Structure formats: structure tokens, C-alpha cells
Chains A and B, each alone.
Chain A
Amino acid sequence: METLEQIKARVEALWPNARLELIANESPSGQRSLLVDNASALRIAEFLRDDPELHFDYCSNVTGVDWPELVTQTKVKKKTVVDGVEKEVEETVETRRPEYLEVVYHLYSIAKKHGPVILRMRTENRADKANVPSLTPIWRGCEFQEREAFDLYGIVFDGHPDLRRILMWDEFKDFPMRRDYVEPDDYEYEPTPHDEVMEKAKAHAAQGGKP
């Protein structure tokens, strides 16, 4: 099977407007992935499926991932001139990872028996622009899994034939798998409370028990 770099080069040769990025993976599994931009995702997916050498006819797994905004502060030593003397000063540098929702596709080839190629698509933000194109017209197997990503994360798939909740009931409002999901506070009886559950149970009891 071609390496990810070769696939990336071929796709970029075919569609110069497409923006692809190789995402590294530091764990020993070494499974690197290809981040594609939302506008050209459908064409790239079709190319991956129909190309005679790659022939990725089987989409194995569709995963939604929630990346809330993360601000990390790292201390960096810099040499600056203070009062005429060169000193090494520690400065705190703030790195900000913007918030987005991500969809990860694992593609395998049944005909050629190779794989996986991992595709990623990101939304613009977690609030109103949480749209990605749906790859269900290319691989029918994505249908239920994209519905699940919509149900649990709130990622809207444009072009999905039937986007509605699949695991939660239809009238449910929130998105359970998000990192900032707050579960309803109706503990009836908490016999062995721990950590946050203990705090919540105490607060709940202070308010007068069951709702």
C-alpha cells in the first residue's frame, strides 16, 4: 500500500485546492492520519474508494471526538537584557488550541486487503458551525455511525439522508458525549459517594432531596 505521503501527494496533484495535513501519532502504534478540509472531503473520499490501486471500499469506523478549547501555559527560558546585564528570564508562553469537533474515519480495503488509512475532518467551532460533509453517499456503512456522532456530539453532517438521533430519544436536548456535558442531578440515593459525585450529592441533599 502506498504511504500516507504518497497518497497525499496524489490527491494534491489532482485537486490543488484541497488542503491536506498529515497528523503525527507519537504512540507505538504509529497510525498516522490525514486531515482533509471540509470542502474537498467528498471528492477525496470518492477518489480513495474508486482508485484502482487504493480501492478503499470499506469504511470501518466513524468516530466523533470533542476537543474543547485548551490554553496551556509553558515556561520558556529566554535571554533578555535587563538593566544592561544579559540574564536568562523565565517567561510564560500561552499556547491556545482552538475548539472544534472532529470526525475520524478508518478506511480499509477488502479487495486489496490493506489499510488502514485514517481520515479526519474538523468543524469550525463547537457551537453554531459544527458542520462537516457526510460521507454516507460514498460508504453506506457510515450512515448509522454518523447519526451516532450527531446524537452524542452534535456534529451536523451535511448531505446525510436521515440525520436524527439514534441512541438517545428524539426529544433529548443535550449532547451526552461532549466534555462539558452536565448530567441531570437527580441522584435518588448515593450509598458510596466519591469525589465529584459526593459534592453533587451533598449539594443535592442541601437543596432538599429528589427533584
Chain B
Amino acid sequence: MIKGMAVTAKNFFGSYVSKERLPTVQYPEERLKPQENTRQFPFLVFDGDDAQKGLRCVACQICEKECPPKCIYIVKSKDKKPDYKGQAQIYPATFDIDISVCMSCQICVEVCPFDAIKMDTEFELSTDDRFGGLLFNKFKLAKSNEHYHKIHPTEATEVDGRLAEEKAKAEAKTKAAAEAKAKPAAAPAVPAAKPA
């Protein structure tokens, strides 16, 4: 038993001396720095400054279908707005996530084809409004790309790189199509269409 007491004593006095023996963090005065990969609840990414104009989400409803506890509710809009590639896309008129149901499984992030929904790291979200307080709508969920860079720097840089690449490809394609269209207009000596 003396041996046991020696171990306890080592741990007890050691806790004053070495950092490893003292794992307790005096929350909330002291907070641990969250890891980069931490995931809590989803948020919608928007590029640029305007939260609604730059929203990447195109209301394809894939995340809604794949969500296991079905906590996402999307209503598509009737009109369209241009996305980062310049094409006109529909956007979500309503995008609700009930974070009291959400289990932070990240499946919505994995299946989104547009990198529009990502995981946030904020967890101090308690509220005393039992029904509406934990239902996040589009405006509360939309956070800027800068915020995304701040919380997940490596992921955000990778996503930005991929999106820039796709944008460049799309621009190159439109340029090539425009040039192809311009060519026949400049040389009308092409033979006329054959009879069907």
C-alpha cells in the first residue's frame, strides 16, 4: 500500500511542478485552443461581402436528402442569381437547420457538390428559447469565406484552389466557344447545309 501512496504522492506533488501531471483546464476562464479539424455544427459559406449574393448554395437539396436525422429544410427560390462561375443558379429561399436535432456527423459537408456547407467550431450556443432558439435559418447560418479560412485554414485554402481552378476552366471554355462562334461569322464562305 505504501507503493500505491508513493504513486499518488508523485502525481499530487508533480501536478504543481510538471505540466503533464496537471491536465485540468479552468474553464471558462481558461480555454483550450480547438483543433483545426474540429466540427460542431454546419454553416453556409458565402464569397465576397454580401451574404445573400455570394452564397454558394444552389439549393440542390442533396444535403437535405442525405442528412440522417433530417434536420435540414430547404425551399428553393423562384428566381435565379449568378454564382461564382457566372452562371445563373437558383438559391435557397429558406434554409433551416435545427441544431438541436443535428448530430454533427458531417455527411452534409461530404456530399455537397458545391462546397457550400462546412462545419463550424462554435459550441457555446445555449439559449433559453426552447423552440425557436436552436433553429438556425439562412441568415444566421451564412458566414463568410474569411471566417472559413480562420477556423479551417488548410481546408479553406484547398477549397479555394479547387474553385479557382474550376472557374478558370469554365472561363477558358466560354472563351473557346466565343472564338469558335466568331470564326464562322468572319468566314461566310463555308458551304451551305446539305438537304436533310
Which residue numbers of A lie inside 8 Å of B, CB to CB? Answer: 189, 191-194, 197
- Inter-chain residue pair count (beta carbon < 8 A): 22
A193 contact set on B, CB distance < 8 A: 73
The reply to whether B97 and A192 contact each other, CB–CB distance below 8 Å, is yes
Nearest CB of chain A from residue B93's CB, rounded to whole Å: 15
Nearest CB of chain B from residue A123's CB, rounded to whole Å: 32
CB closest chain-B residue, reference A197:
B70
How far does the alpha carbon of A191 sit from the alpha carbon of B134 in the complex, in Å?
A: 10
B88 proximal to A (CB < 8 A) = no
The reply to whether A192 and B131 contact each other, CB–CB distance below 8 Å, is no
Count B-side interface residues using an 8 Å CB cutoff: 12
How far does the alpha carbon of A113 sit from the alpha carbon of B135 in the complex, in Å?
A: 53
Q: Which B residues between 82 and 119 are near A, CB-CB below 8 angstroms?
A: 96-98, 100-101
How far does the alpha carbon of A157 sit from the alpha carbon of B72 in the complex, in Å?
A: 43
CB closest chain-B residue, reference A190:
B98
The reply to whether A191 and B70 contact each other, CB–CB distance below 8 Å, is no
The 10 closest A-B pairs by CB, nearest first: A192-B73, A191-B98, A194-B70, A191-B135, A192-B98, A189-B131, A192-B71, A192-B96, A192-B72, A192-B70
- Most B Cβ at <10 Å: residue of A192, A193, A197: A192
B135 contact set on A, CB distance < 8 A: 191-192
How far does the alpha carbon of A193 sit from the alpha carbon of B96 in the complex, in Å?
A: 10
CB closest chain-B residue, reference A195:
B70
Nearest CB of chain B from residue A193's CB, rounded to whole Å: 7
Mark contacts of B44-66 with chain A using CB atoms, 8 A cut-off: 1 yes-contact digit, 0 otherwise. Answer: 00000000000000000000100
Can you report 22 A-B residue pairs in the complex whose CB atoms are below 8 A from each other? A189-B131, A191-B73, A191-B96, A191-B98, A191-B100, A191-B101, A191-B131, A191-B135, A192-B70, A192-B71, A192-B72, A192-B73, A192-B96, A192-B97, A192-B98, A192-B101, A192-B135, A193-B73, A194-B64, A194-B70, A194-B73, A197-B70
How far does the alpha carbon of A192 sit from the alpha carbon of B72 in the complex, in Å?
A: 6
How far does the alpha carbon of A189 sit from the alpha carbon of B100 in the complex, in Å?
A: 12
How far does the alpha carbon of A96 sit from the alpha carbon of B97 in the complex, in Å?
A: 43
B64 contact set on A, CB distance < 8 A: 194
